[in-house]
A and B are shown apart, each in its own frame.
Chain A
Amino acid sequence: MIGKFDNNMQFQEVALRLREQRQQVLASNIANADTPNYKARDFNFSQAMQHALAPSGANAAELSTTNPAHLSAGSGAVVGGVPLQYRAIRQGSVDGNTVDMDVERNQFTDNALRYEASLTMISGQIKNLLAAIQG
C-alpha cells in the first residue's frame, strides 16, 4: 500500500529534486558572473528526468566498476546521472568568463516557477489522497 503512495508521488518528487539541483547550478553561474575564466554550466533536465525515472538496470551503457582503481566512465561532474555541460558561448568576454546574465536570469526564474508548479501538483495529489481517506 505504501509502495502505491510512493509510486504515485515519485514523479513529482524526482522533478523537485532535479529542479533543486538545477537551481543550485544556475545560482553558481550567477554568483561567478565576475570570476575570470569561469565557464557557465547547466545540465539537460529532460535527460536527467528520464535517467531518474528509468527502472534500475535499464541504463546498461554504464560501466560497472569492480575495483577501486577502475576509472568511472564519466570523467566530469554528474548531476542526477547526467553530465554537467558547459553552456555554448553567445558573446565571449576578454577574461574568459562565459556567463551570460540574461540567459542565466531567464533560466533561473523559469526553473523556480517550474519548481513551484511541481510543488502545487504534489500538494494536489496529497489533497486527493486525503479526500479519498476522509470521504
Chain B
Amino acid sequence: MSLFSVFNVAGSAMSAQSQRLNVVASNLANADSATSSTGQVYKAKQVVFSAVPVNGAEATGVKVSQVVEDKSPPKMMYDPKSPLADEKGYVAMPNVNVVEEMVNMISASRSYQTNVDTMNAAKSMLQKTLTIGQ
C-alpha cells in the first residue's frame, strides 16, 4: 500500500517544519540577549532541509540535515551604561533579523498545515478503501 508511505512522507515534513519553527522561536526569544550561556553573543540559527528517500524511489521525505549559525557580524549598539560595553561604549547584540524570522515563522506554519492536509487526505482515502464491497 503506497498510501501508507504518504504518512511517512508528510510526517517527516511535519517534524522538519516544526524544527524550523523551533529555531525561529529560539532566534526571536534571543533577539535582545546581549550574552548567551557560552558568554558569547547569541548568533541567529537556520535549519537546512534535504530530501531523503522514504521507501522506494518515488517517496521522498524531508530531514533537517544541519543547523547552521548566521555568519553576519553582530549588531553594535551604543550603550555605555551596560556592564558588557566595550571601551568605546558599544554592546554586541545578536544578528537576528526579526522581520526575516517572522516571515520564516509564517512560511513554516503554512507548510506544516499543508502537510497535515496531505495526511488527512491519505487517511480519508484509506478509510474509503476499507469500505470496498460494503
CB distance from B90 to the nearest CB of A (A): 34
Residue in chain B with minimal CB distance to A76: B57
- Pick the contact of B49 from A17, A34, A109 — CB < 8 Å? A34
Could you count the A-B residue pairs with CB atoms below 8 Å apart for me: how many are there? Answer: 100
Contact with A along B99-132 (1 / 0, CB 8 A): 0000000010001001100100110010011011
CB distance from A24 to the nearest CB of B (A): 4
> Are the CB atoms of A24 and B2 closer together than 8 Å?
yes
B77 at the interface (CB under 8 A from A): no
A84 — which chain B residues lie within 8 A by C-beta? 57-58
- Pick the contact of A30 from B5, B114, B129 — CB < 8 Å? B114
Size class of the B contact interface (CB-based, 8 Å) = 35 or more
B61 — which chain A residues lie within 8 A by C-beta? 28, 31
Contact with B along A104-126 (1 / 0, CB 8 A): 01001100100110010011001
Q: Chain B interface secondary structure, helix, strand, loop or mixed?
A: helix
Q: Chain A interface secondary structure, helix, strand, loop or mixed?
A: helix
B2 — which chain A residues lie within 8 A by C-beta? 17, 20-21, 23-24
Measured in the bound complex, the distance between the Cα atoms of B114 and A77 in whole Å is 26
B33 — which chain A residues lie within 8 A by C-beta? none
- Pick the contact of A108 from B3, B111, B121, B132 — CB < 8 Å? B121
> Are the CB atoms of A101 and B132 closer together than 8 Å?
no
Measured in the bound complex, the distance between the Cα atoms of B122 and A30 in whole Å is 13
Measured in the bound complex, the distance between the Cα atoms of B63 and A36 in whole Å is 12
> Are the CB atoms of A108 and B133 closer together than 8 Å?
no
Measured in the bound complex, the distance between the Cα atoms of B47 and A25 in whole Å is 24
> Are the CB atoms of B9 and A28 closer together than 8 Å?
yes
B13 at the interface (CB under 8 A from A): yes
CB distance from A18 to the nearest CB of B (A): 9
B6 at the interface (CB under 8 A from A): yes
- Pick the contact of A119 from B5, B58, B128 — CB < 8 Å? B128
Q: Which A positions have Cβ atoms within 8 angstroms of B?
A: 16-17, 20-21, 23-25, 27-28, 30-36, 38, 41, 76-79, 84, 101, 105, 108-109, 112, 115-116, 119, 122-123, 126
Residue pairs across A and B with Cβ atoms less than 8 A apart, 21 shown, are: A20-B1, A23-B125, A27-B6, A28-B54, A28-B61, A30-B10, A30-B118, A31-B13, A31-B62, A31-B115, A31-B118, A32-B49, A32-B62, A34-B20, A36-B49, A77-B57, A109-B121, A112-B121, A116-B128, A119-B129, A126-B133
